Amino acid sequence: MSLKPLPSLSFEHPYPPTKLMFSPPSLRRSSGGDLLASSGDFLRLWEVNEDSSSAEPVSVLNNSKTSEFCAPLTSFDWNDVEPKRLGTCSIDTTCTIWDVERSVVETQLIAHDKEVHDIAWGEARVFASVSADGSVRIFDLRDKEHSTIIYESPQPDTPLLRLAWNKQDLRCMATILMDSNKVVILDIRSPTMPVAELERHQGSVNAIAWAPQSCKHICSGGDDAQALIWELPTMAGPNGIDPLSVYSAGSEINQLQWSASLPDWIGIAFANKMQLLRV
């Protein structure tokens, strides 16, 4: 297997993007190409056309009504079930839900007391977000007034940096805290009590990804340059949960993605390299 970069597919992005994501496979477009979204100063959509010959900007989405600048976006997530729906989160404590087909804002919510760091869709109308105020909240678009806190960091105001919702088993979510080597696993049915805390990293955890094909496996990468694959048991042993397997990279692993279409492959990024690992 070999990887080649396609120079024709590289494009300029005006600001450093905070996240990139392709549209989910459920989004069928008339033109046939793939949509790529990027967040940064604005939410931008790009189209990669079918023969992979070019990537063209499609639209720039600004959710601020008043100014020409919108609040910077820290992250976003594309809804698998309802693929025209995309949620962004921002440092102005709000989450904005977009309809990307019509390029309009569906709704905007004040989600937290502080900056929102990550957002993840669970279901067509339900999403969760984590914030610098240390809480994981679940929102339902049918009832925008209310949200449920399902976890708060034990030291108050420890920011939560990333969130991952297990698409195979919607009860489970994982989150990571700032400067912590723990991956906290939550069950949405029992708020505030984490199901498990996976504590075998020797440095802070930077990225987490659930396995796309199994509901009990999760992979995490951290500052200790290790990518660990864990299996969540139904009953945790007295000493905590040990990972199944480990991969040691050259330096701190900053990003990690588990391929949904090829579940045997995990991509990691460390230093200035990207590596594909076979599970």
Which residues here bind other proteins, judged by CB under 8 A? 15-16, 18-19, 40-41, 66-67, 69, 71-75, 90-93, 110, 113, 115, 117, 161-162, 178-181, 200-207, 211, 213-214, 217, 223, 227-229, 231, 242-247, 252, 254-255, 263-264, 277-279
Distance CA(80)–CA(76), nearest Å, equals 13
Strand locations in 42-83 (E): 43-48, 55-61, 73-78
Beta carbon nearer to other proteins, 5 or 16: 16
CB of 202 to other proteins, least distance (A): 6
Beta carbon nearer to other proteins, 18 or 54: 18
Angstrom CA distances, 79 to 27, 64, 161, stand at: 10, 22, 20
Beta carbon nearer to other proteins, 8 or 245: 245
- How many residues would you count in the chain? 279
For residue 234, the 8-state DSSP code is S
Beta carbon nearer to other proteins, 81 or 277: 277
CB of 7 to other proteins, least distance (A): 25
Beta carbon nearer to other proteins, 95 or 229: 229
CB of 37 to other proteins, least distance (A): 16
CB of 214 to other proteins, least distance (A): 6
Q: How far is Cα of residue 56 from the mean position of the Cα atoms in its chain?
A: 24
CB of 217 to other proteins, least distance (A): 5
**Cβ neighbours for 97, distance < 8 A, ≥ 6 positions apart:** 85, 86, 87, 105, 106, 107, 108, 109, 127, 141
Distance CA(202)–CA(207), nearest Å, equals 14
